[in-house]
Amino acid sequence: MAPGRHCEELWAQGYSEPDAGSDLANVQTRARLTEDGRRWVVDGQKVWTSNAHFSQWVFVLARTEPGSQRHQGLSFLLVPLDQDGVEVRPIEQLTGGSEFNEVFFTGATTDADLVVGEPGRGWGVAMGLLGFERGVSTLAQTVDYARELDAVVALAREHHVLDEQPVLRDRLAGLKVELEVIRAQGLRGLSAVAGGEDSAAGGGAGSIFKLVWANWHQRLGEVAMQVMGQAGLQTRGDDYDLDEFQRLFLFSRADTIYGGSDEVQKNILAERVLGLPREPKGT
């Protein structure tokens, strides 16, 4: 029998803030070193922090240089969540679950050496991590996507959709082919990263991958609702009790927003890959 595997430590990602969602550089959470230089003291708020209520640690993008603006003066800190200076508040979602959280830091502390990269240069670290999140790290999600697709196909067989609705049958077949392409592209990107080709981890490659898998997952949720028909509009019982297909549909609406919205990804590709003029900023 193969040895069992278990997870002993979970990490959350403290990026987004109430006034700094897609505009991530507008970070207001601040951190300062104590007088003896041994600890960071963190104050501020993060939001949409996935699985923070299950995690032991959080990456915190914080402004550590007073008076700095935008991408400058940010540091990438590693902060333990189990302390008096941290409050985690789960956010109830349309799915009925609470994967996302608000996280409040009020004098939270972490050791001075728990900073990734150089203090004040955390933006590059944060962007590198986002590149992996949007790109090759999502390869593991294709396992879940395949399971979800198989479940939708099984439901379609049960409802005789495959025989009676050729349009939906074709859409399911298309989703199957597209998922294989997504998986192959993920493996290609992983091989490139392992071979030292850093560009495969982020930048244009990560943005393209994010656009593809996010929109694929949304289409899967939409097809699931079409297969369910009118039953997809009803909850089970008197309470707000959703089945797996309804949760899939509702949760997948967020896929094109979290981790950088579709609009942000298209701007990245337009400006950094194609060299088009930057989007005008408001005055």
Which are the catalytic amino acids? 133
- The angle that helices 141-158 and 166-194 make with each other, rounded to 10 degrees, is 170
Residue of 64, 48, 96, 46 whose CA lies nearest to 249: 96
Torsional class of 100: left (φ above 0), alpha (ψ -120 to 50), beta (otherwise): beta
Residue 240 C-alpha from the chain's centroid: 26
Pairing mode of beta strands 39-46, 101-111: antiparallel
Bridge partners of residue 103, in order along the sequence? 46, 88
- The angle that helices 244-252 and 203-228 make with each other, rounded to 10 degrees, is 140
Tokens, residue 196: 């030292």
